[in-house]
Structure 1
Amino acid sequence: MDAIVFGAAGFIGRSLVAELLGRGQKVGAAVRKDTLTPWLEGRGVDTSGLTLVQADVTRPLDHVPAARDVYNTAARFAFGLGVQEARAVNVQGALSVVDWAATLPELRRLVHVSGYRVSGAQADYARLGAYEASKVEADHAVRARAAELKVPLSIANPSTVIGPGQYLGLASLVENLWNGRLTALPGGADTFLPVVTSDFFAAFLAEIPAEPEGEAYWVLDDSTPNLPGLIAAVAGHLGMGAPRRHIPAGLLRRLPRRLTGADPETLSFLSSDRYPTASARALADRVGLRWPPVTDALRTWADDLVASRFGRDTPRITPYGFRERTWVAGEPYRPAYVLLHGLPMNADVWAPLAGHLRAPLLAPDLPGLGRSAPGERPTHEWLARLMEPVRTRPVMVAHSVACLPALRFAIEHPDRIDRLVLIAPPFLQAPGPRLHRSFLAAPLMRRMTAARLAGALGLPDGPEVGSAAADLRRPGVARRVAAAARTAHAGRPVARALLERVRVPVEIIVGSADPLVGELGHLVTEVAGTGHYPQLTHPAAVAGRLLPAGGV
């Protein structure tokens, strides 16, 4: 094999395997269980050059096949580890890889992935905690053992590696920001937490074996803003305010964790130290590797964190991301359908329907609702701005309170949409104990679990309801849901009048348990056995009305 990667199913290892395979190499992936192949195939990586090797660095490696280049990305990365647990992988496992590499007759290089805080540090387990101390100990031990056994060694010292699937360390700060719990920044104005993207780091690792041995590379982006600027960049992208106050690291160490919410092991990273990156930058320049713009990388990572609910969920509709403080899922330029959700849901409510439409769609979270930041203009003007880049004439589908801005858009821009579909338009239904009347108390909504919300809505407790419940706990969202419900109820006469002015084809879809009141001059479809959310409970039936004649 050209290369073997230990820890190949981990966050760094899998990106490295993908990079090496993309370069046409024959790659061995040392894994304990195969979670790697589905990950690679899900990203369109050609796995014809991949050989899976069942291996654990804490056990004998004598059965592992030989390779020219050896990468050790295996590590136990977590805070709160026991000393023995951390040392078993990070120290003894790393030494086992060195010992095994020493037996390879055609070894070109062993590349060991260490950490950017290891230089000159001592393995003080009491002060640093088990994870960081074990990485420091391993750095010294691997260097010494490789020298003793004459193993050609290079070391990569990455900073925080960001990218899809990274939910530790800096990610916890972003999560606290997102949930309104980051009231002050840890450390000072000069605190430096540098980052590097997983794709760039994987490409960098792939170049190391061809370079002279014995070098240690600090792989991090020197242009990473200091922590206040970093958080401000992420907050601006998410449509949130960034905290301006600071809590010095020394004070955080003295305060109880139950008050600060800070893991003691993370506090040693709150430093203004800078790092010797010259050799890494020189290598990148020689091979033509370009460092991705750090602010863009942070924004992309923030999108992935929010989409996955910080590692707790799977994105319902892809692609996804923030665009001008609006959360947008799907195809933003050439959609066949534009889907606008009602209360108290978000764009995830359309995921079951999307599976039946099998066509490109655009599904945003409405301003101030779901994951979107509050808008600075009326919702119908926001919708017009959202539609500016669209190059198709899509079907616009609006549910419940979204029907009013959809009507305004259809009247003002009749040439921009093919037809308008209104699902459960509340202004055509009798006022009663449905969502826009019963969910007016923000404190009640903020306390809603997914199960309680599902019960209140008359829906099964599924992932779409769980997604909505998670958003309701975010600062301000429940209050804005309640305000939107009151506005929609007050705007019933306006909406009825607007419906008479629409000149594009209009179809109305309702559930049999949530019927319309009175006669209308528009095509009405009633979905049997459902209520206010037919697109969620009966997506096939709704899709049958949205698809062109004969379906797809």
Structure 2
Amino acid sequence: MDAIVFGATGFIGRSLVAELLNDNQHVAAAVRDDTLTPWLTRRGIDTGRLTVVHADITRPLAGLPDARDVYNAAARFAFGLGVDEARATNVTGALNVLEWAATLPGLRRLVHVSGYRVSASDGRPDYRRLGAYEASKLEGDLAVRARAGELGLPLSIANPSTVIGPGQYIGLATFVEDLWKGRLPALPGGPDVFLPVVTIDYFARFLARLPTAEAGQYWVLDDATPLLPELISTIAEHTGVRAPRRTVPVGLVRRLPRALTGADPETLSFLSADRYPTDSAHAFAASAGLEMPPVADALRRWADDLVAARFGAWEPWLQPYGFHPVAGSRTWVNGERHDPAHVLLHGLPMNADLWAPLAARLPGKVLAPDLPGLGRSSPIPANETPVTWLDDLMGPVRTRPVLVAHSLACGPALRFAVRHPERISGLVLVSPAFAQAPGPRLTRSAAAVPMLRRMSAARLAGTLGLPEGPAVASAAADLRRPGVAGRVIAALRTAVAEREESRRLLARVTVPVEIVVGSDDPLVSAVGRPVTEIAGAGHYPQLTHPAEVARRLLAPSPA
């Protein structure tokens, strides 16, 4: 083997394996359970040069294939670990990998992934002060360097800072999650806190080339990472949420009850103004032709990844995804912005994830945004309207897509179709609320907003008459964010007031129109257009009967 990677199913290990395979190396991946191969396959990585071997580094190793380069990317990374649990992988496991590597006759390099905070330590792993994770990483770093010196083993240690990218939901990600969910009134630490980052793609490339560098320690991080308040502000601006304006000294956070601060004591030692010896890493990266991406762009992309994955709760259903400026809103957009075959506008109280089952059955590309102020999108300014927002959203579109709208989104879709018939090839209205019986009178209740905000996914599913699933869970998560539930109620009130206008607009549409409803939620007003009724469906047929809706969308358009 050219290389063997321990910890190959972890966040760093799997990306390293992908990088080595892309370099046409023959790679052994040492794993306990093979979740790696499906992960690589989903990303289009050729696994022809991959050999998966089973190994438990907490025990002495034997029977593994020889390799030129040995990577130990295995670590128990979590806060709140027990000491024995943390040491089993981070200390004992690291030494077991080293002792096995020492038996290889053709070993070129052992690469051990450590942590950047080892430079800020006085060399004594104080488990009580640091917590089990950081203290065990420090102890492991000391033990590996000492034993490699005794054996004369060629050793390189990579000390990465916070590694960001798709799949990283620990550490700094918890700050972003609290920011996104409105739970970050103040930042712990002072205004000079430096919490550096490095992207997973860059770090994987760095590791893949590190065996050719001079043996030693390499601190891999972006020195241009903004100080923590500016870092959080960058993400807040990108995602359309409010950044905290205050900081709280770490000493005060330590003294306050955790139930009040929400801060894990183990994370507080990372909040410092320390800088790190990065010269050797930068010099090697330059010689290897490696260049870090602009850190602000990397932070924005990572924020998109975190929100798309609901901070690890589920896999994104459509790519690309992310926040884009649309009519003054930071609008969450899934899919193709330039050449979609279908543009999908969701109804209330859902978001664009409502369309996932249907989109999977449609040929061609789709564009599925969250409406302004709803789902993951921020509100539009007072001088903008849903009509101007849709105009701006459709601005980059070069095709003539079919515009598909659900429920209360049918109003803006009708307005666009009347104003811009040359921009779309057809209009499909799914469960148009303006022609159906009014729903529950939530809009008249003073308790509507807090009630909606407190709804669990199960209760929301029951209220809407839907089975529990990712789309409902996604909507419930958004409703708990500050302001979203109130904007849902406001949109309901507006739609009720515009029912008659929407009926009149329908008569003025000149492009082909199709109306799709469920048999359990029929039209109560004449619409003068072709209507497809789906047996057994309610108000959300695209979610409960996606195959039937897809067949209707793919049928020849009515004249």
TM-score by length of 1: 0.97
Is the aligned partner of 1:342 residue 2:347? yes
Aligned equivalent of 2:78: 78
Is the aligned partner of 1:431 residue 2:438? yes
* 1:393-425 CA-partner distances (Å, limit 9, x unpaired): 100001111011111111121111001111111
Is the aligned partner of 1:140 residue 2:132? no
Aligned equivalent of 1:233: 234
Answer yes or no: is the 8 Å Cα contact 2:442–2:489 preserved in 1.
no
* 1:122-151 CA-partner distances (Å, limit 9, x unpaired): 211110001000111111111110000010
Aligned equivalent of 2:178: 176
Partner of 1:456, secondary structure, is: helix
1:459 to 449, 457, 466: 466
Aligned equivalent of 2:332: 327
Q: Which amino acid aligns with 2:475?
A: A
CA distance in 2, matches of 1:438, 1:317: 36
Aligned equivalent of 1:307: 308
CA distance in 1, matches of 2:304, 2:362: 25
Aligned equivalent of 2:220: 219
Q: CA deviation at 1:510?
A: 1.4
CA distance in 1, matches of 2:409, 2:120: 59
Aligned equivalent of 2:524: 517
Q: CA deviation at 1:69?
A: 0.6
Aligned equivalent of 1:21: 21
CA distance in 2, matches of 1:361, 1:439: 38
1:129-528 → structure 2 map (5 Å cutoff): 129-213=131-215, 215-324=216-325, 325-376=330-381, 377-433=384-440, 441-528=448-535
Partner of 2:142, secondary structure, is: helix
Q: Which amino acid aligns with 1:326?
A: T
CA distance in 2, matches of 1:65, 1:29: 10
CA distance in 1, matches of 2:538, 2:72: 56
Answer yes or no: is the 8 Å Cα contact 1:102–1:150 preserved in 2.
no
Q: Which amino acid aligns with 2:219?
A: W
Q: CA deviation at 1:25?
A: 0.5
Answer yes or no: is the 8 Å Cα contact 2:515–2:530 preserved in 1.
yes
Partner of 1:133, secondary structure, is: helix
Q: Which amino acid aligns with 2:224?
A: S
CA distance in 1, matches of 2:336, 2:442: 29
Q: CA deviation at 1:520?
A: 2.8
Partner of 1:466, secondary structure, is: helix
CA distance in 1, matches of 2:34, 2:294: 33
Aligned equivalent of 2:128: 126
Q: CA deviation at 1:497?
A: 2.1
Computed over aligned residues only, the root mean square deviation of the Cα atoms, in angstroms, reads 1.5
CA distance in 2, matches of 1:338, 1:63: 55
CA distance in 2, matches of 1:488, 1:263: 44
CA distance in 2, matches of 1:164, 1:432: 39
Structure 1 stretch 160-169 or stretch 321-330: which is displaced more? Answer: 321-330
Structure 1 stretch 460-469 or stretch 144-153: which is displaced more? Answer: 460-469
Partner of 1:268, secondary structure, is: helix
CA distance in 2, matches of 1:352, 1:515: 22
* 1:422-470 CA-partner distances (Å, limit 9, x unpaired): 1111212233537878898111101111111111111112221111111
Answer yes or no: is the 8 Å Cα contact 2:503–2:527 preserved in 1.
no
Unaligned segments of structure 2, at least 5 residues: none
Q: CA deviation at 1:518?
A: 3.5
Partner of 2:229, secondary structure, is: helix
Q: Which amino acid aligns with 1:222?
A: D
Unaligned segments of structure 1, at least 5 residues: none
Q: Which amino acid aligns with 2:126?
A: D
Structure 1 stretch 118-127 or stretch 288-297: which is displaced more? Answer: 118-127
Answer yes or no: is the 8 Å Cα contact 2:161–2:197 preserved in 1.
yes
Identity of aligned residues (%): 70
Partner of 1:322, secondary structure, is: strand
Q: Which amino acid aligns with 2:524?
A: V
Answer yes or no: is the 8 Å Cα contact 1:367–1:374 preserved in 2.
yes
CA distance in 2, matches of 1:34, 1:443: 45
* 1:223-269 CA-partner distances (Å, limit 9, x unpaired): 11000010001111111110010111010111111111000000000
Answer yes or no: is the 8 Å Cα contact 2:131–2:266 preserved in 1.
yes
Structure 1 stretch 286-295 or stretch 499-508: which is displaced more? Answer: 499-508
Structure 1 stretch 113-122 or stretch 77-86: which is displaced more? Answer: 113-122
Aligned equivalent of 2:38: 38
CA distance in 2, matches of 1:435, 1:523: 31
* 1:461-500 CA-partner distances (Å, limit 9, x unpaired): 2221111111111111100000000000011122122222
Answer yes or no: is the 8 Å Cα contact 1:439–1:482 preserved in 2.
no
Aligned pair in 2 of structure 1 residues 210, 374: CA closer, same or farther (>3 Å)? same
CA distance in 2, matches of 1:198, 1:433: 48
Structure 1 stretch 113-122 or stretch 438-447: which is displaced more? Answer: 438-447
Answer yes or no: is the 8 Å Cα contact 1:451–1:461 preserved in 2.
yes
- Alignment length, in residue pairs? 549
CA distance in 2, matches of 1:380, 1:517: 26
Q: Which amino acid aligns with 1:153?
A: L
- Stretches (4+) displaced over 4 A: 434-440
Partner of 1:141, secondary structure, is: helix
CA distance in 2, matches of 1:549, 1:437: 42
Q: Which amino acid aligns with 2:102?
A: A
CA distance in 2, matches of 1:399, 1:437: 23
CA distance in 1, matches of 2:360, 2:441: 27
Answer yes or no: is the 8 Å Cα contact 2:340–2:399 preserved in 1.
yes
Q: Which amino acid aligns with 1:109?
A: R
CA distance in 2, matches of 1:463, 1:26: 38
Q: Which amino acid aligns with 2:378?
A: A
Q: Which amino acid aligns with 1:357?
A: L
CA distance in 2, matches of 1:453, 1:189: 41
Answer yes or no: is the 8 Å Cα contact 2:163–2:200 preserved in 1.
yes
CA distance in 1, matches of 2:133, 2:335: 39
Answer yes or no: is the 8 Å Cα contact 1:176–1:182 preserved in 2.
yes
Aligned equivalent of 2:55: 55
Q: CA deviation at 1:360?
A: 1.1
Q: Which amino acid aligns with 1:7?
A: G
Q: Which amino acid aligns with 1:352?
A: P
CA distance in 2, matches of 1:431, 1:212: 72
Q: Which amino acid aligns with 1:334?
A: D
